[in-house]
Structure formats: C-alpha cells, structure tokens
C-alpha cells in the first residue's frame, strides 16, 4: 500500500519570512491504528499469543520504558531504536543560579531511530492526494450542491430525484 501525500507551498527558510516559497510534499495519514488494532495485526502475522497477551506485553513495555527513562536511562529496543530524555530549560548566568524546579520547563522523550526505521525511502510507494484543506473545501462544495438539488456533473437541470434540505452532514 502506498503512502498518501499532498503538496503545499512553504518558505524555503522558515526563520526568514521573506525567503522564497517552494513546493514541498506532506505525508497524509490514512488512518490511526489503535493499540487493539495493532495487537490484532500482530496476531495476523502468526503470533502464537492472543490479542489480550499482545496488548499486555505492549502495555508493560510502555510502563517499563517510562520507568527507565525517569531513572535517567536510555532504552534500546533493538531495530526499533532507542528512547531517551531531553530537556527544554531556561538559561541562567551561573551554575549556582540554576534550580531544576525553576529552570527545567519540560522533559521530552526523544526517539533515536533504529536500523528498521533509518530510511524507508527505498521501500516506500507514494500516492498523490489533494491536501486536507482542498478535500474539506470539495466536501463543502459537494454538500452545497447536493443541498441545492443539483447532481454533480449533470447540466440538464434534472436533479435526478434528489431534493435538498435533508440536514444530514458527514
């Protein structure tokens, strides 16, 4: 299955508002896969364990990775990669002025890609789709057309039996 993408215009140098705009690709998510869906998918790949066991193991991994990160450890998960912490903090003039409670604003989890995720370009296939904004605009226009009793693509004036005003939305 291909990765959906759309194109958009953005500054070639985001920090310079006057820089030339260029066309860039944006990945478009097809759907969100939940933990139960992922567990079911894992089971379809010949796992001897049921979904409940797979969900339990994944949940335990999350808990244990979180616990180890809070202990200051970096956690390596094989070809998946490693998780580690990074801070967003405010600078101070001297080491004596630094207080973690006052100067560390945020503790973030970072992911260092492993070999299985290093670069998927050679394995990826791509499928162009319109941007989410364009899709929303087209849906809005289609609803307006249907509510007006006009069948898209029909120039005869016959509404094909469609009467507007159903009040239903997506």
Average pLDDT of every residue of the chain: 87
Give the separation between CA 99 and CA 95, rounded to whole angstroms: 9
What pLDDT, on the 0 to 100 scale, is given for residue 111?
Answer: 97
pTM for the structure as a whole? 0.68
Supply the angle between the helices 51-70 and 35-44 in degrees, to the nearest 10.
120
Give the separation between CA 99 and CA 165, rounded to whole angstroms: 63
Contact 69, 109 (CB under 8 A): yes
Burial class (CB in 10 A: 0-12, 13-18, 19+), 39: buried
Q: What tens digit of pLDDT does each residue of 124-146 get?
A: 999 999 888 888 888 888 888 88
The answer, yes or no, to whether residue 161 has pLDDT greater than 50, is no
Where are the domains positioned within the chain?
A: 1-32+120-148, 33-73
Provide mean pLDDT across the span 102-127: 95
CA distances 139 to 33, 128, 145, 161, Å, are: 24, 18, 10, 21
Residue 170 pLDDT grade (very low, low, confident, very high; cuts 50, 70, 90): very low
Show Cβ contacts of residue 17 under 8 Å, excluding neighbours closer than 6 positions.
Answer: 11
């Amino acid at each position: 299955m291909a990765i959906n993408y759309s194109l958009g215009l953005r500054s070639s140098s985001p920090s310079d508002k006057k820089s030339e705009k260029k066309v860039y690709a944006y990945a478009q998510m097809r759907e969100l896969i939940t933990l139960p869906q992922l567990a079911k998918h894992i089971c379809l790949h010949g796992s001897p364990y049921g979904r409940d066991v797979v969900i339990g193991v994944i949940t335990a991994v999350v808990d244990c990775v979180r616990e180890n990160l809070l202990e200051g450890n970096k956690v390596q998960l094989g070809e998946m990669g490693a998780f580690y912490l990074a801070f967003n903090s405010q600078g101070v003039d001297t080491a004596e002025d630094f207080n973690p409670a006052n100067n560390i604003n945020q503790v973030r989890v970072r992911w260092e890609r492993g070999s299985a995720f290093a670069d998927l370009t050679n394995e990826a296939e791509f499928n162009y789709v319109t941007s989410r904004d364009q899709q929303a605009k087209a849906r809005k226009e289609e609803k307006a057309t249907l509510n007006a009793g006009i069948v898209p693509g029909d120039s005869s004036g016959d509404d094909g039996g469609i009467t507007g005003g159903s009040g239903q939305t997506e």
